[in-house]
Structure formats: C-alpha cells, structure tokens
Structure 1
Amino acid sequence: MIKKLFIGFIFLFVLILILFYSQIWKEDDYNPYFVEDYGGIGFIYNYKESQPIGVEYPDDIKSIYFLKERNSRVFINDYDKKYMEYDWKYNDYECEVEIWENTSIFRYNEKCIYIFIKVKDFWIRKEIDCSSIKNSSDFEDKVKIQELTNPHIKKIVNIYVKNHQKIEEVYEKGCKELWNSEDGLI
C-alpha cells in the first residue's frame, strides 16, 4: 500500500513538473518581444517576425511605450478583454483610454487602465495605476477617468515634446540594425 502511494506521489510530481515546464515554454512563445537598450531608451522589436514595434522610455515604475501601430499587443496580456474605451482631445492630441475587464478587480494589488496618445509618428501607450478609484461604477464616468488621466497625459506629452528627437533616433537606429542583422536579433 505504501509503495503504491509512493509511486502515485512520484507520478503526480512528474505530471506537475511537466505542466510547469509546458507553461514556461508557452510563456516564452507568448512574448516574442525584445528590448535593445540605447542609452537608457529601449528599441522594441518582435524577434520572431523581425518587425520593429516601437520605443520603450523609462518612467517611474511603468515605462512609456512609443508604438508605431495603435493596436500593437506588446507586453499586454491576451487573456484580458477590453471592457470600455473613451476618447477625447487634449491640446490637439488624440487621446484614448482603454479599460479592461479585470480593471474592476484587484490584480497584482493594483487596478490599471491604458492611456493612448496619438503624436506625429507614434502612438504613446502608458499603463496608469487607478487604485484610487474604489467603485467599479466610477470606471463608467468619463469625467472621473479624465480627472485621473489628464495629469498623466500632460506629463507624457511633455516627455514626448522634450525627447521626441532622441526617441525617433533610437527607433531609426534600431530599425537599421534589425534590417542589417542576419538572424532577426540585434
């Protein structure tokens, strides 16, 4: 009897290890993005498709992403579904806020929404902590969302205005190196 239990535990342990490692490989397949650092600013590209995606600019805890395509899925969990979207103009910049289904519950001890701002050559994306919003119904109030996000939008626009030339240079340099590489890696 003890021998059968021992064999059963070993079998379960092996199954758990297989499941664990299969999830690791699945995660590796899920995130095909690399970031190449150019003096503190990162060039983001998809190494599986040898495609340039944009630029990552460090800011506080969460980075600011300057993406060539609005719908780039870089570093966004595909399991999340968009719940709601708002858009408005901020100083002639097109701004969009995406609220995801899991925003109304705590995930990783924070609630978050995504801000998108259209500038000349990029869509800027920033994840914003919105833990200060206590009620899920507040996510349906555009005025409250604007009050929460407008200071962040102002800061992001100022960063872009001050650094747009450097951001564009990093993107162009990364693209040039990516196109010249033989293996799709910089």
Structure 2
Amino acid sequence: MNVIIVGGGMAGATLALALSALNKGNISISLIEAREPDNGHPGFDARAIALAHGTAKRLAQIGLWSVLKPFVTPINHVHVSDRGHCGFVNINAQDYDIDALGYVIELHDAGRQLFAQLKKQPNITLYCPAKVEHVQRHLDNVEVTLDDGTQLSGDLLVAADGTHSPIGHQCHIQWQKTPYHQVAVIANVKNRD
C-alpha cells in the first residue's frame, strides 16, 4: 500500500510514523511538507501543547515517546474551578498511581524530534520543502504532482495540511465550522530561577 500524506505538522508527521510502526515498515509513505521544522514552520513554533497520559502511552507503543520524553514537563496536579461558583476539583497523578496526568512539550522541540525520526525510516520518503500543485483522483488511486514536477501515485491521500487545507479544497472535501465566539491569549512565561 502507498500512502501520501500532505502536511508534516504534528498530525501528519505523527501519522506517518505511527503508520510505519504499526505496519512494521511494510507500507510505503510519502510525506509532503512545505517547510523544514527549523525554518519558521507554523506548526512547530514556540507554543506548547499538553499531551494526555494516554497519548504518551500510545506514543510509547509506536516508539516515539523515548525521543520526546527528554523535552517534556510532567503535569502532576490539576486544579479546576470556576470563579464566582462554589466547588472545585483537584486531580493528582499519585492518586491514580501514574507518573503524570499528562505532559507539556514545546512544539519546536517536538517538530525537531519527529522530523529526525521521519528521516530515519526507510519506508518514508520526505518531500520537504515541497508543495502540491495538483491532485488527480481516480477510482483506485490518487496522483499528486509536486511543485518541482515530481509525480506520486498512492492508494490513499491524507490531507493534514492545516485548518484551511488547500488539499481539502482541491478534493472538494466539505467541512462544517462552528464559531464559538471565544478568544484565547497564548504566552510563554519564563521563570527567573
């Protein structure tokens, strides 16, 4: 089976590595990504994400946790409350006999580690930097033409190229947006130890 994944952010890179591990390298994967992770990749910037305890277990099952673990900070305690309302919840990892409830990792660290692993897999061909110029769908396969003229053929095309997916548009994939009318402020805070 040949799988073409467009988009090498967290979703696309992790999917490629998971497919490779779960199929023991017996699947051919082409991963197309427009930017290297160290060149201002929007998916691997200075933001941090939280990985649930279960996610860390799944990453361990596919051999990725050992390369990500040196870059994570454990979440040992969570306090949930709502200002102006009585009641709260405290959750502690030790109460559940686990190392951590989850882990925080900066995306640029995750990106560097995932791309290093992608480059080590003999069944994953990384096209980076590269962009998809054209997608042609057929009954039994899909053909993708890259911006340098390279043509790829696959049994499955995965659009992991972001929120406003150009591949999704080219393939006429419909989706529904639900506005939540909420705003978030994201900041990185450094401690002066």
For the criterion TM > 0.5, the same-fold answer is: no
- Considering only CA atoms, is the larger Rg found in Structure 1 or Structure 2? 1
TM-score of the superposed pair, with normalisation by structure 1 = 0.26
TM-score of the superposed pair, with normalisation by structure 2 = 0.25
Larger relative helix fraction: 1
With a CA cutoff of 8 Å and minimum separation of 6, indicate the structure with the bigger relative contact order.
2
